[in-house]
Structure 1
């Protein structure tokens, strides 16, 4: 292994996880940090919920990838398609290979729109939208804003997706708008979720259920989206042998998700049938079989709720451990499974849900045990403060 300052660290993925890690590594003295990322534009995904709900503009969530890549970090605009851990090589779509001393794998999550029959086709119709895609979120904003009657079906995906509760955010934002313009009583709002409760933690459930009752939302718990008939504007939902059909005027859906297919096909990941997640120690974030490979973010098997809010702690732990291993030391930092889902339950308040991998409340301000309650302050932090911190500090490895 080369000395720490001379090591070449390659990062697969230039999203939130990849750039925040790259920035931290560069600030820690690693001379050569390489980020592999094919996309030319960088998207701040948490804003997509606000965009779909009409509380932000699409342009607020996008910046050129070259502009947000930390200074001194080399950007290879190509896609990883394979990893050869024995040779310490990453294979690119162009056919080129990139060698590494340490490898950080964080390519993000894959949206499987075709996994549900008719869902991809439905998204191409005027009535299909989603906050899990920037273009579909931008499409949702005027569609929900101008609706004056009918049925809107919101579909939440399974808990293996990235921030599954995010599917509810545009629903609450839209309901608050429809109530403000006096048409909420003309709109049937339906939430389809595979979960048994709105979130899964009693204190958070109580806050969300109060808003569900306030808006008159009809919830189908324990139900999955089975198929979509976009021409008839019908969805089939079900649980086991029980199925039901719902008609819709607008369908807002979260797609099934998994690790990227190419990652699932490598020896570093779990089988595709198990999600294809990168096999890491969920506390140290080091690969279980290859000590020079690390993983974080949505594609890693951290056994915790996938969210952008979890990445800050993961990035800190990973960088500390990677530097320790580079010095010949043991990785001692631990990721506690912290995650967060800020539910935008109105156009000025948020239920700030923070929890660990065991489903226990984990407030970031230890003495503020009721931080999860619906608050205006949480909205300001989520909508105004966090985007600035993201662009100016998190991606530079400063927060």
Structure 2
């Protein structure tokens, strides 16, 4: 069987698990050294062990090194050993693990420059780059690195639009600025909090998801110099571009609620808005038999505006099935004035509010938490606009934090008056800097901040940016499409799809206001596959807009 591998530099490539019979192919391809990054005991050891491979490698003249990195870790402790191996092993080097991702991550850590003391140099060293496909992964030259297109953010929007662009024009010099090593499928976290999804399935290494031909700059963006067409990085480098795509997501402002950070993950306080906390939500829900459960929603905008109430519905459904809901007082405290922003879906949602006997408290904003005393304080505004601080006790508190534009965008020339990246709502092009586009949660378009919105925005940005590069009119228009699968019970969903102005935009010829089992299947089984296998790979499914 032919070996598929990714060349990360002239002297280093990665691949998934190999067997002894493939060693001669590796040697014949010109590799002189082999590095095993997969632990021998992983998955019960049902694969060729490092000892087996080392023995055969030596017999055919391949140097060998064993640097095991466990699943779900970055392997920081092996970075020093990897650095030594690359300095001493004959090149080119072939490294492998289960999929190649951990080997690529380990290589990226070795390529990242050590933190240096601040100097007054006017020409700071640019960052190292992890490249996918045939692009070079060697450190950038002393002059500032420059690319055709720079994408700030390696989330759903960043990886998706990169894949879309490179499928259209594979020769583009494209870089993604993303400091995180792990990528998350966040839409499933509400299901995790209801015990209906394995949280481990929502996380994958960023390096495994990048499209071939892209370069990863593993640092945070620290500033935008839009006039000079430069993005500054947290390590002091300046990265130049012809076109810029801004999509770093938004910032969860946990600190805006006094006492919250000190009690998150204990004392009955949780949130489905974090990977490590969603399983704790389920732990609390499944253990509660009686008492007071409070679910909160902050002021808009937030990502997935339906997620706060989805947590309530799924929790109540579980308690109802267990026969304990009658002993649990449920309250939904919403800083806004309506249950949902699109009126057509409110009657269906209200039927479930009544079914679960939940109390709705509007204009009620969480401002302080004392987890040890099981107390929460809300600023409650009356009809005349007067605000009163109200204390409430709880046994279980599900918190959705306030959400703001990231500092790097909010404090930049790209921001609008509210701090979001300013865009034309139809073309997603910046009104003052035509070579800048934005999509995802950070852009100023007044659409629902959902992955479904990103799926359609990707095509608009990719087509419009490439037209701009050719001097052509921008061909695509975004209609504000967003979707919120409102999980009203385990097994049924109201599939809310809508665009600008609350216009209903259903994908399927069914009444979208009715809770359906088919929508549950779509949410739990179809959409994760669409996300990982289509959207992040530039394969566009149902992406046409109605404008």
TM-score (norm 1): 0.94
Match of 1:128 in 2: 269
Q: Does 1:320 align with 2:460?
A: no
Residue 484 of structure 2, aligned match among 341, 351, 366: 341
Match of 1:171 in 2: 312
> Are the aligned partners of 2:293 and 2:329 in contact in 1 as well (CA < 8 Å)?
yes
Residue 61 of structure 1, aligned match among 177, 202, 219: 202
Equivalent-residue separation in structure 2 for 1:203 and 1:124 (angstroms): 36
Q: Does 1:353 align with 2:493?
A: no
Provide runs of 4+ in structure 1 moved above 6 Å. Answer: none
SS, match of residue 298 in structure 1? helix
Aligned residues: 389
Comparing 163-172 with 311-320, which one deviates more in the overlay? 163-172
1:195-226 deviations in Å (ceiling 9; x for gaps) = 33321333210111111111111111222112
Match of 2:399 in 1: 253
Matches within 5 A, 1:377-392: 377-392=518-533
Matches within 5 A, 1:147-162: 147-162=288-303
Equivalent-residue separation in structure 2 for 1:180 and 1:71 (angstroms): 48
> Are the aligned partners of 1:10 and 1:102 in contact in 2 as well (CA < 8 Å)?
yes
SS, match of residue 101 in structure 1? strand
Equivalent-residue separation in structure 1 for 2:410 and 2:175 (angstroms): 22
Match of 2:168 in 1: 28
> Are the aligned partners of 1:53 and 1:171 in contact in 2 as well (CA < 8 Å)?
no
For structure 2, list consecutive stretches of 5 or more residues without a partner in the other structure.
Answer: 1-145, 541-547
Equivalent-residue separation in structure 2 for 1:206 and 1:22 (angstroms): 40
Matches within 5 A, 1:1-399: 8-29=148-169, 30-237=171-378, 238-239=380-381, 240-271=386-417, 274=418, 276-365=419-508, 367-368=509-510, 370-399=511-540
Equivalent-residue separation in structure 2 for 1:134 and 1:357 (angstroms): 30
Please state how far the C-alpha of 1:313 moved relative to its aligned partner. 1.1
Comparing 158-167 with 221-230, which one deviates more in the overlay? 221-230
> Are the aligned partners of 2:331 and 2:360 in contact in 1 as well (CA < 8 Å)?
yes
Please state how far the C-alpha of 1:85 moved relative to its aligned partner. 1.1
SS, match of residue 441 in structure 2? coil
SS, match of residue 423 in structure 2? coil
Equivalent-residue separation in structure 1 for 2:324 and 2:477 (angstroms): 50
Please state how far the C-alpha of 1:174 moved relative to its aligned partner. 1.2
For structure 1, list consecutive stretches of 5 or more residues without a partner in the other structure.
Answer: 1-5
Please state how far the C-alpha of 1:7 moved relative to its aligned partner. 6.7
> Are the aligned partners of 1:54 and 1:173 in contact in 2 as well (CA < 8 Å)?
no
> Are the aligned partners of 1:158 and 1:164 in contact in 2 as well (CA < 8 Å)?
no
The structure number with the bigger radius of gyration is 2
* Structure 1 residues 65 and 7: alpha-carbon distance in aligned structure 2, compared to 1, 3 A threshold: closer
Ranked by relative contact order (alpha carbons within 8 Å, sequence separation 6 or more), the top structure is 1
> Are the aligned partners of 2:231 and 2:240 in contact in 1 as well (CA < 8 Å)?
yes
Please state how far the C-alpha of 1:124 moved relative to its aligned partner. 4.6
TM-score (norm 2): 0.69
Equivalent-residue separation in structure 1 for 2:534 and 2:336 (angstroms): 35
Equivalent-residue separation in structure 1 for 2:440 and 2:259 (angstroms): 29
> Are the aligned partners of 2:211 and 2:537 in contact in 1 as well (CA < 8 Å)?
yes
> Are the aligned partners of 1:284 and 1:331 in contact in 2 as well (CA < 8 Å)?
yes
